[in-house]
Chain A
Amino acid sequence: MVGEGILKGMAETARNFFGSYVSKDRLVTLQYPEQRDPRIERARSFPFLVYDGADWQQGMRCVACQICEKECPPKCIFIEKSKDKKPDATGKPQFYPATFNIDISVCMSCQICAEVCPFDAIKMDVVTDLSSADRFASLLLDRQRLAKSDQYYNSIHPTEAAAVDARRAAEQARQAAKAKAATEAKSAADAKLTAATQAQSETGGPR
């Protein structure tokens, strides 16, 4: 009979219409800004700079080596190296970025900067609500807006951050051991040298 399929279809849509008022399971829409899906841990948006401790300028891990700037495919990073050095978290004097800008309207979120950084200073962020009425200034992030604490990094990428922290700790321990060995060797050498000079003075020295 003509129109049978139409009536069937209309019954189906009517069932959907009234069903959506009765059962909440039918409405799968997430009310976005208020409700959000749980974030995937490996999600990434744009890079940010990690700092240790409380003060972002003091604890900045970045030493302005400019590797990320050179590697960045769309060339969205701009770094200016400082003239002076300042002590980093371990107390060692280091250069620091006098300017560190990332134009996130250009950035393609490739994560290459984070992968090439030997200091674990630049990592990928997860914020996505970055829209603004201003096309230029609000999308050019300077070093203050890029700086985010190590705790924040641990909270957004816990697994990855734990590995980074372990690696950094091991590296620091290795450095400390090396320094210790060096000082020991130096003191041993000094002792040897003093012993030798002593022996020399006792024997009267080479002629």
Chain B
Amino acid sequence: MTHFILLAQQLDQIFVLAAHRLLSDLPAAIQPLCSAILSVAAIIIVFATLFAITTWLERKGLGRIQNRYGPNRVGPFGLLQPIADGIKSLTKEDIVPITADHVVHFLAPVLLVAASFLGYAVLPIGRNMVLVNLNAGVLYFFAIGSLMELAVFMAGWSSRSKYSLLGAMRAIAQMISYEVPLVLASIVVIMQAGSLSTVSIVDLQASYTEIWPHWFVFTPWGFAGFVLFMVAATAESNRSPFDLPEGESEIIAGYYTEYSGFKFALFFLGEYIGMFATSGMAITLFLGGWSAPFSFLAWVPSYVWFFAKLLAIISVFIWIRGTLPRLRMDQLMNLAWEFMLPMALLNLFTAGLWHFMAAGSLRWLVCSTMVVVPCILLSRGLKHKKKFQVRTYHYSE
């Protein structure tokens, strides 16, 4: 039994130990630098591979949802499709509009990818597996997340095309609007954990009562926060049903209308990497990070749990994309400011009440009521508020 536990622990720490072994031969002066480079390379490779797998998974999943096969030509089950796509986009002509601001036009996709990768620095993807344990990790993550808006605006502005500019403005309006509920929904966790460090937030959740974990999602305020966070994250990463900035079927590609070839692929990569990062943050904040869902499964390596949870969230993203139609611009804004913002603010009070009330069923009842009742009332109220006006046309009659 002890052997087994020892083995499981070693398996859990296999990457950490391997990195130590690899770096131990180097002179001490350059060890920190090499350690950082090694971790960064690992993160880039792992999540770029995950991006490739996800594009395949998404096309397959959407295909099956629409009763199609999905890609099945390149390799077994179409598994080599991402490689084919990569080669295709690499060999395509890179068109830059003649009036574009060339430097900014070039930098925008680079910045987007760089910004989306920077967030992984504070994501604990396993026990002792975090690049930097910042004491303001969550704050850092959201600060880096807003860099993506800058990249979007750079893309729209530098293309010098009215479609790109309008698309960028829509995208930024959406991203800024949804950043508010995104951050407010995560504040409840920070309140409860009393820390901005992602590592200590996960450590706090990695304990068990009997077999049940102490994940924040299993509390009324945590559940509400998780749902709000995920909705905001969907909008933040421009995914369906909030994919107005891209709007494949209506506007051509929004802010990246004027991008082609590999730069276009970089935008794609950046968007997906950003989505994984936000999903990883949701896992860290609400779903217990790398901790196992039951105490008796704790022997499974921690990074396996992180990626299992990440893949589960990605699957739900794909499922949602295959189900919901696109929102209208006013619906999008109304959802952010009239429903999600009040709910997120109210959730702060719920979390506070939860903190000060004694543990027990009464606390559960009160806090659940504080989440459910406003949710129903708010959605009802918004439904009743809807008035249909008779539209008058001044010129066509």
Whether a CB of chain A sits under 8 angstroms from the CB of B376 is yes
Verify B323–A27 contact, CB threshold 8 A: no
Point out the residue from A2, A26, A31 that lies within 8 Å of B375, measured CB to CB. Answer: A2
Residues of B within 8 A of A9 (CB): 323-324
Query: In chain A, residues 112-144, which have Cβ atoms closer than 8 Å to a Cβ of chain B?
Result: none
Whether a CB of chain A sits under 8 angstroms from the CB of B135 is no
Number of interface residues of B (CB under 8 A): 15
Verify B324–A16 contact, CB threshold 8 A: no
Whether a CB of chain B sits under 8 angstroms from the CB of A166 is no
Verify A10–B319 contact, CB threshold 8 A: yes
Interface string of A135-167 (1 = CB under 8 A from B): 000000000000000000000000000000000
Point out the residue from A6, A12, A17, A31 that lies within 8 Å of B64, measured CB to CB. Answer: A17
- Complex CA gap A16/B320 in Å reads 13
Interface string of B30-53 (1 = CB under 8 A from A): 000000000000000000000000
- Complex CA gap A16/B68 in Å reads 10
Verify B67–A28 contact, CB threshold 8 A: yes
Minimum CB–CB distance from A2 to chain B (whole Å) comes to 4
- Complex CA gap A13/B68 in Å reads 12
Whether a CB of chain B sits under 8 angstroms from the CB of A20 is yes
Number of interface residues of A (CB under 8 A): 18
Residues of A within 8 A of B69 (CB): 27, 29, 31
- Complex CA gap A28/B319 in Å reads 21
Verify A1–B376 contact, CB threshold 8 A: yes
Verify A2–B65 contact, CB threshold 8 A: no
Contact of A16 with B66 at beta-carbon distance under 8 Å, contacts A6-B324, A10-B320 already known:
yes
Contact of A2 with B376 at beta-carbon distance under 8 Å, contacts A16-B64, A26-B67, A27-B69 already known:
yes
Whether a CB of chain B sits under 8 angstroms from the CB of A14 is yes
- Chain A residue with minimal CB distance to B339? A2
- Chain A residue with minimal CB distance to B378? A2
- Complex CA gap A31/B68 in Å reads 11
Counting chain A CB atoms within 10 Å of each CB, the highest count among B65, B324, B375 belongs to B65
Verify A16–B376 contact, CB threshold 8 A: no
- Complex CA gap A33/B106 in Å reads 40
Interface string of B353-388 (1 = CB under 8 A from A): 000000000000000000000011001000000000
- Complex CA gap A16/B322 in Å reads 10
Whether a CB of chain A sits under 8 angstroms from the CB of B61 is yes
Q: Chain B contact residues: over half helix, strand or loop, or mixed?
A: helix
Minimum CB–CB distance from A160 to chain B (whole Å) comes to 36
- Complex CA gap A194/B68 in Å reads 87
Verify A13–B322 contact, CB threshold 8 A: yes
Interface string of A17-41 (1 = CB under 8 A from B): 1011100001111010000000000
Residues of B within 8 A of A12 (CB): 323
Query: In chain B, residues 52-83, which have Cβ atoms closer than 8 Å to a Cβ of chain A?
Result: 61, 64-69
Residues of B within 8 A of A13 (CB): 65, 319, 322-323
Verify B67–A27 contact, CB threshold 8 A: yes
Minimum CB–CB distance from A33 to chain B (whole Å) comes to 10
Minimum CB–CB distance from B28 to chain A (whole Å) comes to 54
Minimum CB–CB distance from B65 to chain A (whole Å) comes to 5
- Complex CA gap A26/B65 in Å reads 11
- Complex CA gap A16/B319 in Å reads 11
Point out the residue from A14, A21, A26, A31 that lies within 8 Å of B319, measured CB to CB. Answer: A14
Minimum CB–CB distance from B259 to chain A (whole Å) comes to 27
- Chain A residue with minimal CB distance to B325? A9
Contact of A6 with B323 at beta-carbon distance under 8 Å, contacts A26-B67, A27-B67, A29-B69 already known:
yes
Verify B320–A21 contact, CB threshold 8 A: no
Verify A10–B323 contact, CB threshold 8 A: yes
Residues of A within 8 A of B65 (CB): 13, 16-17
- Chain A residue with minimal CB distance to B322? A13
Residues of B within 8 A of A19 (CB): 67
- Complex CA gap A1/B378 in Å reads 11
Query: In chain B, residues 237-272, which have Cβ atoms closer than 8 Å to a Cβ of chain A?
Result: none
Minimum CB–CB distance from B362 to chain A (whole Å) comes to 25
- Chain A residue with minimal CB distance to B241? A6
- Which A residues fall within an 8 A CB radius of B? 1-2, 6, 9-10, 12-14, 16-17, 19-21, 26-29, 31
28 contacts between A and B (CB under 8 A): A2-B375, A6-B323, A6-B324, A9-B323, A9-B324, A12-B323, A13-B65, A13-B319, A13-B322, A13-B323, A14-B319, A16-B64, A16-B65, A16-B67, A17-B61, A17-B64, A17-B65, A17-B319, A17-B322, A19-B67, A20-B67, A20-B68, A27-B67, A27-B68, A27-B69, A28-B67, A29-B68, A29-B69
Please provide the 4 A-B residue pairs with the shortest distance between their CB atoms, ordered closest to farther. Answer: A2-B379, A13-B323, A26-B67, A9-B323
Starting from the known contacts A2-B376, A20-B64, 18 additional A-B residue pairs (CB-CB under 8 Å) come to A2-B375, A6-B324, A10-B320, A10-B323, A12-B323, A16-B65, A16-B66, A16-B67, A17-B64, A17-B65, A17-B322, A20-B67, A20-B68, A21-B64, A26-B67, A27-B67, A27-B69, A31-B69
